[in-house]
Amino acid sequence: MSQVEPVPHNGRNHRSAKWFQGDSINAASSRAWLRSQGHSASMFDGRPTIGVINSWADTTPCNMSLRDVAEHVKRGVRRAGGFPLELPVMSLGETLMKPTTMLYRNLMAMEVEECIRAYPFDGVVLLSGCDKTTPGMILGLASTDVPGIVVTSGPMLRSIRGTQELGGSSGLWKADTAHRTGAITGRAWREIEGCIARSAGHCGVMGSASTMAIVAEALGLTLPGNAAIPAVDSRRLALAEESGYRIVQMVDEGLVPERILTRAAFENAITALMAVGGSTNAIIHITAIARRAGVDITPADFDRISRRTPVIANVLPVGTHQMEDFFYAGGLPAVIHELGDLIDPDCVTVTGRSLPDECADAEILDPDTIRPLADPLQADGGIAVLRGNLCPDGAVIKHAAASPGLRRHRGRAVVFRDKYDLEARVHDPALDVDASSVLVLQNSGPVGGPGMPEWGMLPIPLKLAKQGVVDMVRISDARMSGTSFGTCVLHVSPEAAVGGPLGLVEDGDEIELDIANRSLTLLVSDEELARRRERWRPAVAAPQRGFTSLYVRHVEQAHEGADFGFLAGRTSVSEQMYQP
Ligand code: FES
């Protein structure tokens, strides 16, 4: 796309006209206070007003480049004849926010939605990057009927120490184990800290941020190629400018989210998720976005699509490369093109064209990083959905990142009541545990966490790590970071804190995991489970004030997207608009 002329507006009566047109005192004050910024009167001649919604924050280092990105978006909006107005929204910095950014995803989504409704925007460009900022933005947009386009910050440069590839945040987990077991020195550990995140951008492996950027692109909410361009590559700024240009066209075309977020778009996003070996967190976000968009996506859809979709992106933590390499190899357009018939062409993206059409001439430029379908990294998708008496509403496992020897496993449960119990006991030399044990973490789900923190990759007990044990079966109602790995069963639903069977597991119970058969079974009789259920009491006292009290009262379970029930569906901004 390389238009240089302003978009010829089609005379549509823009929503912003209700703020800016006419002689009323409301219209005069709307104009006057914007003119205090030096905007000329010509900005109110009926051109579209575009909100540039920015999640930049010092506390979200992955989004720090978005100030620059915003300027380039605004350049594109002006070039197309629009009027850009930038505003900040809540930002969610993965490494600093406790207990988890997931606790605040819905709050950010509400803020984005309410800003779109309350301000005179005819279209919006959403700037995101770090893990939960992209779903937070998309959830807000999907709840409205205002055209929107997403621009992400892009992955950071690959992490490297000397000539050693560190593997980004995935490598940090491994370095931590090496440091705790004495395999690397304190000096090496400190140097790695300085090498692991060495530029602007979000985590540079196929963690949750990269995965959600790919989901956004596959849904059709970004310009083609957005997901993988490194944050510091000038092509990201060029894409930002083109996104600003395109949103003005989208306003005039009436290309609203409802036309983009169709069932085909969600199926394509799930296919892309599986093909890149993406983060399990995306399952929760995609489910929540679909519920806002009125599309019924269930855990069974993820498993069905996973079974038919090979993993072809050889990117950490499933593969060996980093996102920078993935970009050089062709990025998501090359993946989409290679997936061929697995992508539904009956969809439309922000360009107005279908996803396969946009990727028709894309090429794989490095067949080791993006594998041909004939030589995939793994024959079926990276994520499996499990069922069984331990998870009546499902659980997930990123089996592409699991140990082959544990894909079918039976072992004795070692139960931790919550995160604090885990921290207190897991490394105790006296803990009754061996390599065949199954580590179980309770009370870490949406209500129990609260916010379903990324505690699902339970640490290997130190005494076993020192013996060379690198993986064990681990089960929880928590999530895990997209950069994590291991045989970790996650998102057990219903969660322990609301009475799910996970909360009934006791030390010594036998548990069987069978990934091929998609089953997770607690080998305890129904009668005994009924007795335990009689005795069960919630272990977590419900918070009584603030956002957290609202959260635990309204959050739904993992298999429903962990959204607030009262936010399902979308409503028109016209229906719910304050009349200026
Ligand atoms: Fe922001 Fe990893 S910490 S994406």
Ligand 1 center–CA 135 separation, angstroms: 13
Q: What is the C-alpha to C-alpha distance for residues 38 and 83, in angstroms, rounded to an integer?
A: 13
Q: Which of 97, 132, 203 to mutate to test the pocket of ligand 1 (most atoms within 8 A of CB)?
A: 203
Q: Which residues pair with 514 in a beta bridge?
A: 408, 519
The reported pTM is 0.95
Q: What residues line ligand 1, using a CB cutoff of 6 Å?
A: 62, 94-95, 130-131, 169, 202-203, 207, 209
Query: Residue whose CA is closest, atom 2 of ligand 1?
Result: 203
Q: Dump strand ranges (E) for 372-444.
A: 384-386, 395-397, 408-416, 438-441
Q: What is the C-alpha to C-alpha distance for residues 66 and 92, in angstroms, rounded to an integer?
A: 14
Q: What is the C-alpha to C-alpha distance for residues 19 and 118, in angstroms, rounded to an integer?
A: 11
pLDDT tens column, 360-392: 999 999 999 999 999 999 998 789 999 999 999
Predicted complex: ipTM over 0.85: yes
Which residues touch 290 (CB under 8 Å, ≥6 apart)?
261, 266, 296, 297, 561
Ligand 1 center–CA 303 separation, angstroms: 26
pLDDT tens column, 122-153: 999 999 999 999 999 999 999 999 999 999 99
pLDDT tens column, 42-93: 999 999 999 999 999 999 999 999 999 999 999 999 999 999 999 999 999 9
Q: Which two tokens stand for residue 296?
A: 């019924």
Ligand 1 center–CA 164 separation, angstroms: 21
Q: Are 202 and 95 in contact (CB under 8 A)?
A: no
Please report, for residues 16, 61, 90, 126, 436, the alpha-carbon distance to residue 56 in angstroms, rounded to integers and kept in the order given.
Answer: 25, 8, 9, 11, 45
Ligand 1 center–CA 203 separation, angstroms: 5
Query: Residue whose CA is closest, atom 1 of ligand 1?
Result: 130
Ligand 1 atom closest to 95 (CA): 3
SS (H, E, C) 248-282: HHHHHHCCCHHHHCCHHHHHHHHHHHHHCCCCCHH
Ligand 1 center–CA 139 separation, angstroms: 19
Ligand 1 center–CA 481 separation, angstroms: 9
- Would you give per-residue pLDDT tens digits along the chain (580 residues)? 444 455 555 555 799 999 999 999 999 999 999 999 999 999 999 999 999 999 999 999 999 999 999 999 999 999 999 999 999 999 999 999 999 999 999 999 999 999 999 999 999 999 999 999 999 999 999 999 999 999 999 999 988 888 888 888 777 888 888 888 888 888 989 999 988 999 999 999 999 999 999 999 999 999 999 999 999 999 999 999 999 999 999 999 999 999 999 999 999 999 999 999 999 999 999 999 999 999 999 999 999 999 999 999 999 988 999 999 999 999 999 999 999 999 999 999 999 999 999 999 999 999 999 999 999 999 987 899 999 999 999 999 988 788 999 999 999 999 999 999 999 999 999 999 999 999 999 999 999 999 999 999 999 999 999 999 999 999 999 999 877 789 999 999 999 999 999 999 999 999 999 999 999 999 999 999 999 999 999 887 788 899 999 999 999 999 999 999 999 999 898 765 565 5
SS (H, E, C) 464-480: HHCCCCCCCEEEECCCC
Type of residue numbered 417: R
Q: Are 82 and 248 in contact (CB under 8 A)?
A: yes
